[in-house]
A = this chain, B = another copy of it.
Amino acid sequence: MSSFGKLFKITTFGESHCPSVGVVIENCPSKMKIDTSYISKQLNRRKPGQSDISTERKEEDIPIILSGVENGLTLGTPLCVIVNNKDQRPEDYNFDPKNYLYRPSHADYTYWNKYGIHSSSGGGRSSARETVARVIGGSIAEKYLKENYDIDIVAFVSSVGDISIPLSEELLKTITREEVDKNIIRCPDICANDMISCIKNIKEEGDSIGGIVTCVCRNVPVGLGEPCFDKLEALLAHAMLSIPATKGFEIGSGFYGSKMLGSEHNDEFYIVNNSISTYTNNSGGVQGGISNGNIIYFNVAFKPPATIKLEQKTVSMNGENAKISAKGRHDPCVVNRAVPVVESMSSLVLIDLLLQQF
């Protein structure tokens, strides 16, 4: 299944080297002003080749709206938006499975076993190119959330390898996308430079490195999320772990919370200016699966990209031990390009729950 959401539902399609990747959006509210400029803005933050710590491959990624919009307004009917793949290079018909070398920690081995077939070049459907469609859907969702509820969603890089930044309450309250975009690694801290140097070195060595993206959602109204299986944090976890290369998700206190005492962890209430507030926000804005009006924040762990130039051991499809080293251009670290993808998946979760609730 390639659909996400119950009411605001996106269905994505497209491989890395087919004619187009795209998305169908169902139940987008009618009479929203849509132009492609803000879709492009997020696509540009995601696209390859945007800096020298990303893959050098260039894609324009211009969104084309095929349906659901007339004279710049949504009709309440499904939007289909596509981006054409400039660079379609499906390999020739003479693909010989016998000599094919499985790429370690890539999806080709599991795809072959599941489908008995795999796109002949690139990652096919498992390629991060699929996230183009998510960013299109997410950028429309976040426009709605901002205009109707003043909801802010800002993600940033909080860790690359061993280099991490502290997550102060102040940072979570005030961080903006403008600040995030001040450097190419999208880390709003002085140690951004160290992260960039680290990635450049690793790139030179033909290796890759992992990292963490942190995301905050501000002004989310109280009441989003379901008590049981569709808890807000469960839907966010689902959304984040569906992004390629992710290995972990934690909300609020997260894994550190497992080391805490109840008396430390509980967010005590108090009255300020006639409204209810809490001294702390270890819950991360969610209680019992339902948003409580506090800032929602969470971390997403990304593994190092599997494609590296260093030689690795592998096997061929006909069962022979072999060696492989990747050719071409690849991301040495994906977290900076993942920032708009994390934001997009967050906005898709929130808009779906909002439409269910109100």
- Partner-B contacts on A (CB < 8 A): 1-4, 6-7, 9, 11-15, 18-22, 24, 26-27, 30-31, 64-71, 73-80, 82, 90, 93, 102, 104-107, 109-111, 113-120, 124-126, 130, 159, 161-162, 202, 207-212, 222-223, 226-231, 233-242, 244, 246-255, 257-271, 274, 276, 278-279, 282-284, 286-292, 299, 301-308, 310, 312-315, 319-321, 356-357
Contact A209 B276 (CB under 8 A): no
- Give every chain B residue within 8 A of A319 (Cβ-Cβ): 271, 274, 276
Contacts known (A67-B20, A110-B291, A290-B110); A301 close to B77, Cβ less than 8 A: no
Taking the closest CB of chain B, its distance from the CB of A44, in whole angstroms, is 22
- Give every chain B residue within 8 A of A79 (Cβ-Cβ): 13
- Give every chain B residue within 8 A of A302 (Cβ-Cβ): 258
Contacts known (A3-B3, A30-B117, A242-B230); A13 close to B24, Cβ less than 8 A: yes
Taking the closest CB of chain B, its distance from the CB of A22, in whole angstroms, is 6
Taking the closest CB of chain B, its distance from the CB of A124, in whole angstroms, is 7
Contact B241 A247 (CB under 8 A): no
Q: Which residue of B lies closest to A76 (CB)?
A: B115
Taking the closest CB of chain B, its distance from the CB of A16, in whole angstroms, is 10
Contacts known (A3-B26, A20-B67); A276 close to B124, Cβ less than 8 A: no
Contact B22 A66 (CB under 8 A): yes
Q: Point out the residue from B235, B271, B303 that lies within 8 Å of A258, measured CB to CB.
A: B303
